[in-house]
Chains A and B, each alone.
Chain A
């Protein structure tokens, strides 16, 4: 996002936290990067103490002084404990499974607690999306936190800034720290729910090519889609009804299906073309076909299975992609 478009708050926080590059590996929250400010409750506590102090002075209550000062000490000790609840926490990025655009990317963070006690009520918040979770971090490694971040665009989705915040134990202070782990999730294009394209032995506008000699059989009709070739439009049926229909063919089970970028209607923009291809990849995989993908500059030879599907979708996701 260009700097000029950023909200003033975002610019301010960028200035405050510095333009820190993403951090690799385990991130330790040193106490220098834990910030702390009193909360509104904390200010009210201070006001209560002032009233109690005045009361103690006025009525010459030695135990009143003692109580007021003990509570003041408790507030300060509470400040130290709040810092301690966050300091030296180690954050390790987990694995984010690829998702399709429009879904939530599940970023997994593991909070390792080197202290021998539990750290209660730590909020982990994804700054940009507001996704957040409150967790008690148990002693030892591996408390898992999942941040569901909406994936809107295909390509790499950077986790970007994540804040950790706590008000434990007294709620009088708010301690927080901001991390930027080097952690991204692959987002596949949003799949179009398009049926597989009809085959064409000549290969012309069709996307399906049989390896064996043209044994494609007419199998039925389906609703017309803008990308369908005019050759496959069932003109006879169209003349009898209002709806546009397309003739559908099934091929040999062993037939190889090429999902070719260059043969998509040029009217579609890049994202729409990738969405269509992604939809076809899913449909072809479901139909148990052997399929290949041809993109400008990339070709994945026909194959089948989860790994192949993932490779195809990755190629689609990263086609001329910029990291967000």
Chain B
């Protein structure tokens, strides 16, 4: 296969073939497919047009477009992206740019050098997928993509082979890469990112509780299977009625939306009483807000966090990565010390001119009941009597949303219950506030982690009672007792859109789900959650405390050196398949040498066997036969398997002495 090229192995001198083009286009489309739903429709159409254009050129053996035309197309695309995203440097616009560039690069791909650049672009596009999801499924799918992309790269270096052979080579290379990859992953000195300011849109699309509550917010969240956080308890596990995970506390109501308003740090911190103490570790999913979640009532403070005077745990920075913290909580505890006048006043504010019927009812109660505690009890009793329906699909409420819920619709979700109850209390002149968070959590029997999902988002109320402080009242649980005991999914009417994973399902499906979630949890902790801290823990466990980056680099380099040497030695050893004929002959010579007759270097097989036959006359026939077989097998034209077997048998049974 001679070629006229100056250097046939140089990639810049080999033209791309139709096969290369097809393979690379397939890889690009595969790694860009998950982005298809994330970019505007026109960009998707634009990118597909570029692919179509390249295919049309290839099918008709037409000339590639000039560089000026391509620059024109690129500028057009960039203007479009600039208008769409208002920037070229965000995460979303960066991906849009990459998709366009991939199409353009195909149109400019002439040699294997260009094709190799496309391969590198594919690798980079694999990485961009991880910006959105790093689940086990994504990892598996992208491993497949990696084999296909690497196969393309291999095919450039080994033309005229079957694609299967290239894919097999790619698989072999990636298999050999695994030990090196793991060593680098574990030992490469980790830097806590980000290195520079992130684009504005870096964390968009992350769901979680917000610090406002309008009708529909929580029911929106409740259709999400996504995990909010996990908790692993060291000792006893709280019962279903104790699983109130406190989040943002909402004070300010404008008739429609509740807001948290300004928060101030708590001045004093002294808990009194309490029923049970729980110690646990929380692994919280990133939600891009400051709040952390803890069981009521938090009795410790995670590092880099503070607690507000309304009892909300706050991190100093937004939770943008999966984070772990240890917590202690005491169920049923309450805080000592009087509440400030300002807080109490804020807890009684209501927007003027809203919900007149609620106001009238509350003021009627107030006239007959003077004691706040008794009034609260009365309100709860009234709530139970009214027989409200808990549903994910409440009717739309108008301007006086509380009135409509309490007296007309009588159907609602926890946000309606809590909001209405707090308005009712405030109307009666009792300080009250809305608390949002999560109610629930499911223990995975495999790893004992409690999983709390976004669907378990909940809102309840707190009422200030003189002498008792802020008392938790969950109007939802009061009206619909099943919500706290058996979860959201079992409390709503049949036909409501309950998230798939929250439904009561068959036993085997449940066990499948537990297995999968335990696996995901390990994946989150050991793979996705491996950071500077974990690295330090790991090194301490293998006996390296206070390892700095120099120690890590030394370890890393030596580990890599060992792996490469082992790999090299192994593959060189596999290069030579020992010749069975020669092996048998050498074994025969060793036996004779042991009997005192070593072969001289100059002696051929005929001379040597002749000499040996004279020395050991009783075995002369065997010795001569071995010599003849060896000569015929080693120097003869065609090898007979039967003769080889005979030679081996003779050598094995040969006893010179």
Interface residues in A57-78 (C-beta closer than 8 Å to B): 57-74, 76-78
Q: Are B159 and A67 in contact (CB under 8 A)?
A: no
Q: Are B158 and A169 in contact (CB under 8 A)?
A: yes
**Hey, which chain A residues are within 8 Å of B191, CB to CB?**
57
A56 proximal to B (CB < 8 A): yes
Residues of A in contact with B (beta carbons under 8 Å apart): 31, 41, 44-45, 48, 51-52, 54-74, 76-81, 83-84, 87-88, 114-116, 120-121, 123, 132-136, 165-171, 174
Cα–Cα, bound, A80→B575 (Å): 13
Of the 9-residue stretches B53-61, B121-129, B330-338, which lies at the interface with chain A?
A: B121-129
Q: Are A84 and B571 in contact (CB under 8 A)?
A: yes
B117 proximal to A (CB < 8 A): yes
Known: A52-B123, A62-B528, A123-B9; 15 extra A-B contacts, CB below 8 A, are: A52-B127, A61-B134, A67-B146, A69-B181, A69-B188, A72-B180, A72-B184, A77-B180, A84-B572, A88-B575, A120-B158, A133-B1, A134-B2, A136-B160, A170-B150
Q: Are A73 and B202 in contact (CB under 8 A)?
A: no
Q: Which A-chain residue is minimally distant from B526 (CB atoms)?
A: A62
Interface residues in B99-133 (C-beta closer than 8 Å to A): 112-113, 116-117, 120, 123-124, 126-127, 130-131
B82 proximal to A (CB < 8 A): no
Task: State the Cβ distance, B634 to closest chain A Cβ, in Å.
Answer: 14
User: Binary interface profile of B, 191-217, with partner A (CB < 8 Å = 1, else 0)?
Assistant: 111111010001000000000000000
Q: Are B575 and A52 in contact (CB under 8 A)?
A: no
Interface residues in B1-46 (C-beta closer than 8 Å to A): 1-3, 8-9, 11
Q: Are B174 and A74 in contact (CB under 8 A)?
A: yes
Cα–Cα, bound, A92→B1 (Å): 19
**Hey, which chain B residues are within 8 Å of A170, CB to CB?**
150, 153-154, 157, 173
**Hey, which chain A residues are within 8 Å of B198, CB to CB?**
58-59
**Hey, which chain A residues are within 8 Å of B180, CB to CB?**
69, 72-73, 76-77
Q: Are A168 and B177 in contact (CB under 8 A)?
A: no
Interface centre among A73, A123, A166 (most CB of B within 10 A): A73
Task: Give the residue of A31, A48, A59, A169 whose beta carbon is less than 8 angstroms from that of B202.
Answer: A59
Cα–Cα, bound, A206→B180 (Å): 82
* Given A52-B127, A73-B180, also A62-B572 (CB < 8 A): no
Task: State the Cβ distance, A90 to closest chain B Cβ, in Å.
Answer: 10
Task: State the Cβ distance, A140 to closest chain B Cβ, in Å.
Answer: 10
Task: Give the residue of A73, A77, A115, A171 whose beta carbon is less than 8 angstroms from that of B574.
Answer: A115
B234 proximal to A (CB < 8 A): no
* Given A48-B124, A56-B127, also A67-B142 (CB < 8 A): yes
Q: Are A87 and B572 in contact (CB under 8 A)?
A: yes
* Given A54-B195, A115-B577, also A72-B123 (CB < 8 A): no
Task: Give the residue of B173, B178, B196, B575 whose beta carbon is less than 8 angstroms from that of A58.
Answer: B196
Q: Are B157 and A64 in contact (CB under 8 A)?
A: no
B530 proximal to A (CB < 8 A): yes
B179 proximal to A (CB < 8 A): yes
Q: Which B-chain residue is minimally distant from A48 (CB atoms)?
A: B120
Q: Are A80 and B568 in contact (CB under 8 A)?
A: yes
Q: Are B193 and A121 in contact (CB under 8 A)?
A: no
Q: Are A169 and B169 in contact (CB under 8 A)?
A: yes
**Hey, which chain B residues are within 8 Å of A77, CB to CB?**
173, 176-177, 180, 567
* Given A61-B131, A67-B142, A69-B184, also A80-B176 (CB < 8 A): yes
Q: Are A61 and B130 in contact (CB under 8 A)?
A: yes
B542 proximal to A (CB < 8 A): no
Q: Which A-chain residue is minimally distant from B134 (CB atoms)?
A: A63
Cα–Cα, bound, A87→B574 (Å): 11
**Hey, which chain A residues are within 8 Å of B127, CB to CB?**
52, 55-56, 61, 64, 67-68
Cα–Cα, bound, A134→B159 (Å): 10
Task: Give the residue of B124, B131, B157, B176 whose beta carbon is less than 8 angstroms from that of A73.
Answer: B176
**Hey, which chain A residues are within 8 Å of B154, CB to CB?**
168-170
Q: Are A88 and B572 in contact (CB under 8 A)?
A: yes
Q: Are B576 and A73 in contact (CB under 8 A)?
A: no
Residues of B in contact with A (beta carbons under 8 Å apart): 1-3, 8-9, 11, 112-113, 116-117, 120, 123-124, 126-127, 130-131, 134, 138-139, 142, 146, 150, 153-154, 156-161, 169, 173-174, 176-182, 184-185, 188, 191-196, 198, 202, 320-321, 527-531, 560, 564, 567-568, 571-572, 574-577
Cα–Cα, bound, A65→B192 (Å): 12
Q: Which B-chain residue is minimally distant from A165 (CB atoms)?
A: B9
Q: Are A72 and B181 in contact (CB under 8 A)?
A: yes
Cα–Cα, bound, A54→B146 (Å): 20
Q: Which B-chain residue is minimally distant from A47 (CB atoms)?
A: B120
Q: Are B194 and A58 in contact (CB under 8 A)?
A: yes
Task: State the Cβ distance, B327 to closest chain A Cβ, in Å.
Answer: 23
**Hey, which chain B residues are within 8 Å of A71, CB to CB?**
123, 177
Q: Are A48 and B116 in contact (CB under 8 A)?
A: no
Q: Are A65 and B126 in contact (CB under 8 A)?
A: no
30 contacts between A and B (CB under 8 A): A48-B123, A55-B127, A58-B193, A58-B198, A59-B194, A60-B192, A60-B193, A60-B320, A62-B529, A62-B530, A64-B130, A65-B185, A68-B127, A69-B182, A69-B184, A74-B150, A77-B176, A77-B567, A81-B173, A84-B571, A87-B572, A88-B576, A116-B577, A120-B161, A132-B8, A136-B1, A166-B9, A169-B154, A169-B158, A170-B150
* Given A88-B572, A115-B576, also A57-B173 (CB < 8 A): no
**Hey, which chain B residues are within 8 Å of A60, CB to CB?**
192-194, 320-321, 531
* Given A64-B127, A114-B577, also A83-B185 (CB < 8 A): no
Q: Are B139 and A63 in contact (CB under 8 A)?
A: yes
Q: Are B575 and A45 in contact (CB under 8 A)?
A: no
**Hey, which chain A residues are within 8 Å of B156, CB to CB?**
171
**Hey, which chain A residues are within 8 Å of B530, CB to CB?**
62
**Hey, which chain B residues are within 8 Å of A134, CB to CB?**
1-3, 8-9
Q: Are B185 and A66 in contact (CB under 8 A)?
A: yes
Cα–Cα, bound, A82→B367 (Å): 92
* Given A74-B150, A88-B572, also A69-B577 (CB < 8 A): no
Task: State the Cβ distance, B119 to closest chain A Cβ, in Å.
Answer: 9
Q: Which A-chain residue is minimally distant from B573 (CB atoms)?
A: A88
Q: Are A76 and B577 in contact (CB under 8 A)?
A: no
Q: Are B571 and A121 in contact (CB under 8 A)?
A: no
Cα–Cα, bound, A58→B530 (Å): 15
Cα–Cα, bound, A123→B10 (Å): 11
Cα–Cα, bound, A196→B159 (Å): 53
Cα–Cα, bound, A64→B173 (Å): 19
Interface centre among A44, A67, A84, A88 (most CB of B within 10 A): A67
Q: Which B-chain residue is minimally distant from A82 (CB atoms)?
A: B157
Cα–Cα, bound, A59→B130 (Å): 10
Task: Give the residue of A44, A76, A132, A171 whose beta carbon is less than 8 angstroms from that of B560.
Answer: A76
Cα–Cα, bound, A121→B157 (Å): 7
Task: Give the residue of B138, B159, B529, B560 whose beta carbon is less than 8 angstroms from that of A121.
Answer: B159
Cα–Cα, bound, A232→B627 (Å): 71
Cα–Cα, bound, A132→B176 (Å): 32
Q: Are B179 and A167 in contact (CB under 8 A)?
A: no
Cα–Cα, bound, A72→B187 (Å): 14
Q: Are A169 and B173 in contact (CB under 8 A)?
A: yes
Q: Are A123 and B8 in contact (CB under 8 A)?
A: yes
Q: Are A73 and B179 in contact (CB under 8 A)?
A: yes
**Hey, which chain A residues are within 8 Å of B181, CB to CB?**
66, 69-70, 72-73
**Hey, which chain B residues are within 8 Å of A121, CB to CB?**
9, 157-159
Cα–Cα, bound, A69→B530 (Å): 14
Task: State the Cβ distance, B271 to closest chain A Cβ, in Å.
Answer: 35
Q: Are B575 and A114 in contact (CB under 8 A)?
A: yes
Task: State the Cβ distance, A186 to closest chain B Cβ, in Å.
Answer: 24
Task: State the Cβ distance, B5 to closest chain A Cβ, in Å.
Answer: 9
